[in-house]
Amino acid sequence: MSPRTPYPSDLSDARWELIAPTLHAWRQARLDRRPTGQPAQVDLREVFNAILYLNRTSVPWKYRPHDFPPHPTVYFYFAAWRDEGIFARLGYELTGLARAAAGREPEPTACILDTQSVKTSTDVPLASQGTDAGKKIVGRKRGVVTDTLGLLLAVSVTAAHLSDNTLGTRLLDQATDTYRSIAKTWVDKGFKNTVVEYGAALGVDVEVVSRNTQKRGFHVVKRRWVVERTLGWLMFHRRLARDYETLPASSEAMIHIAMIDNTAKRITGETTPTWRDPR
């Protein structure tokens, strides 16, 4: 462990043991491709802790505490892990472990789709933004797929004007490419016939779940509450309260990172401190 005073967002030893093999294998693969073969001196655990700190607190890259590695170093690893799919791979591996720990098969057979429109910061390129006319939000739209436990199976970030149908087909492609076992999914009425028909072509039964119009105000909607809870979990990570990323791929990576944090804690039996927690 580092001699510095730990932050609440730091990985515990148990969670680092879950994540370390994938990161060390990635580093070794890069070393094997380097002419010199000289290993970098940076501590991968500290790099990941710095990324978790930024993900949880939403500080800009240059504002990370000075007891972490330099911000260009941290961003280099973030970008490499984003572009090479390491965050996504970690998420899928942890999802399988969490499902097994809950007594489920590692490969899910059912899932839930939903979208969330969020405002963007002033630094986000206009070309990657749009307006969600229904929710009156200028920004980006996140599409997520979860299993019936609320664990992330797929994510896609687009401009907010993209329709749920278009985003839904992308999510179905992504989810079924990763998990060939998926045969059932639940969606809200925003996805309509296009996604239902597309799912049928993939061999997935897409069921539209509508709210009970006889009930006023908030009420739990069958199956859909699971993915809505997952979106709520993401909001514990302040980097996701608004989209600050230049690239949609970075936005997707930040969602994967938040769920890596959440899923690893689920496996190890740890909890996420909140402002309600006196600790």
Query: Comparing 153-157, 199-203, 222-226, 259-263, which segment has the lowest mean pLDDT?
Result: 222-226
Q: What is the pLDDT of residues 48-57, one digit of tens each?
A: 999 999 999 9
As a whole number of angstroms, the distance between CA 191 and CA 188 comes to: 6
Q: What is the pLDDT of residues 149-180, one digit of tens each?
A: 999 999 999 999 999 999 999 999 999 999 99
Strands (E), 162-202: 184-187
pTM for this predicted structure: 0.91
Question: Cβ contacts of residue 25 below 8 Å, gap of 6+?
Answer: none
As a whole number of angstroms, the distance between CA 265 and CA 269 comes to: 6
- Residue 37 region by backbone torsions, left for phi larger than 0, else alpha for psi between -120 and 50, else beta: left
CATH number, domain 107-211+222-245: 3.30.420.10
Question: Cβ contacts of residue 53 below 8 Å, gap of 6+?
Answer: 7, 9, 10, 59, 64, 65, 68
Question: Cβ contacts of residue 269 below 8 Å, gap of 6+?
Answer: none
pLDDT classification of 1: cutoffs 50, 70, 90: very low
pLDDT classification of 148: cutoffs 50, 70, 90: very high
**DSSP for residue 278:** -
